[in-house]
Every structure is written in structure tokens, then in C-alpha cells.
């Protein structure tokens, strides 16, 4: 069981694990792995707390009801798994400003939070616009050989590379 406590796992082992998880998702639920819809459902659940049943009458929430489903539980599992992995490897640290960010942009937690929030909103909008997130398109869609998913995955990588170059070399 020592492999549970290493700081970094082999990307090949992790890739195989995600592939096997995808097989089981298709086998047991006939659904692809993806979590971006879970965030939309969560926003609907929050809105429902304040506005009541009128929320479920919106066209979007008729298509994606604001309920806890298997994708929502997958999102919880991802968060719990990431936390446990960091704990087991003794690498969990609370840092308001990551080292790389701080050395490039300064140690302001407010700036880091504002940029993170803006980036999260943009990523969320992009995932909804693309009809899926990196896990939905990059893992499940490419596994099904969907052309749209291969294009989306290429765009994810290109966008990430361009953003990293811009943030850490241009600015």
C-alpha cells in the first residue's frame, strides 16, 4: 500500500485508472464521465433556495434539473480524493498564494482570488458552451471517438498553453 503515499503518481497509471473508471461508468450507468453539469445543477440548487420552485420552470433547469445526481457525487468524490491524496502523501498545505504565482505576480491574496474567480467563470462558461468539460470531452468524448470532443480537447490544450505563455512569459 506504499503507492498510496507517494507524492506523485505515474501519469500512465493514472491514465489507465481513468480509462478503467470510464469503462465502469459506461458499463454500470451507460453515461460518460463529466462534471461541468454538476456545477450548473449546484447553481440551480442555490437559486432554488432563494427563489423556490420558479427556478425549476426555467428552460435550462428543465433540461438539467437542479438535483443531486451521479455527476454531482463524482465531483464530491474528486474533491475528497484530491484531499485524501494530498493528506496521504503529506503534501497538503494551505497557501493563499501559490509559490509560482507569488514569484510572478506578487503575494496579494486578493489579486489571486479575483483572477481565480474570473478564470473559473470563464472556464465554466466555456464548458457549458462546448457542451462539456475537459473530463466530459477530453476523456469520455475522445474515448467514444466523437470529433467534437477531439476538437474540444485540442482547444483545451491550445488555450492552456497560450494562457500559460501569456501569464508567465509575457506579463
pLDDT at position 26: 86
- Count other Cβ atoms within 10 Å, centred on residue 15: 11
Residues of the chain with pLDDT under 70: 171
pLDDT at position 55: 92
Non-local (6+) Cβ contacts of 42 within 8 A are 66, 72
pLDDT at position 51: 93
pLDDT at position 171: 67
pLDDT at position 133: 80
Domain ranges of the chain: 1-93, 96-171
| Whole-number Å distance between alpha carbons of 59 and 4 | 44
- Taking phi over 0 as left and psi of -120 to 50 as alpha, with beta for the rest, 9 belongs to beta
pLDDT at position 130: 80
pTM of this prediction?
0.76
Record the cell numbers describing residue 43, joined without a space: 447553481
Amino acid at each position: 500500500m506504499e503507492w498510496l503515499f507517494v507524492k506523485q503518481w505515474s501519469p500512465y497509471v493514472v491514465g489507465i485508472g481513468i480509462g478503467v473508471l470510464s469503462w465502469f461508468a459506461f458499463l454500470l450507468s451507460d453515461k460518460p464521465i463529466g462534471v461541468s453539469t454538476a456545477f450548473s445543477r449546484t447553481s440551480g440548487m442555490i437559486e432554488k433556495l432563494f427563489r423556490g420552485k420558479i427556478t425549476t420552470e426555467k428552460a435550462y433547469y428543465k433540461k438539467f434539473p437542479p438535483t443531486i445526481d451521479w455527476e454531482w457525487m463524482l465531483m464530491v468524490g474528486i474533491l475528497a480524493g484530491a484531499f485524501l491524496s494530498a493528506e496521504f502523501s503529506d503534501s497538503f498545505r494551505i497557501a493563499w498564494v501559490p509559490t509560482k504565482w507569488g514569484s510572478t505576480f506578487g503575494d496579494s491574496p486578493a489579486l489571486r482570488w479575483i483572477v481565480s474567480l474570473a478564470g473559473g467563470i470563464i472556464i465554466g462558461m466555456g464548458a457549458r458552451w462546448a457542451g462539456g468539460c475537459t473530463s466530459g470531452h477530453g476523456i469520455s468524448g475522445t474515448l467514444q471517438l466523437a470529433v467534437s470532443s477531439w476538437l474540444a480537447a485540442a482547444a483545451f490544450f491550445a488555450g492552456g498553453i497560450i494562457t500559460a505563455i501569456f501569464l508567465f512569459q509575457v506579463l
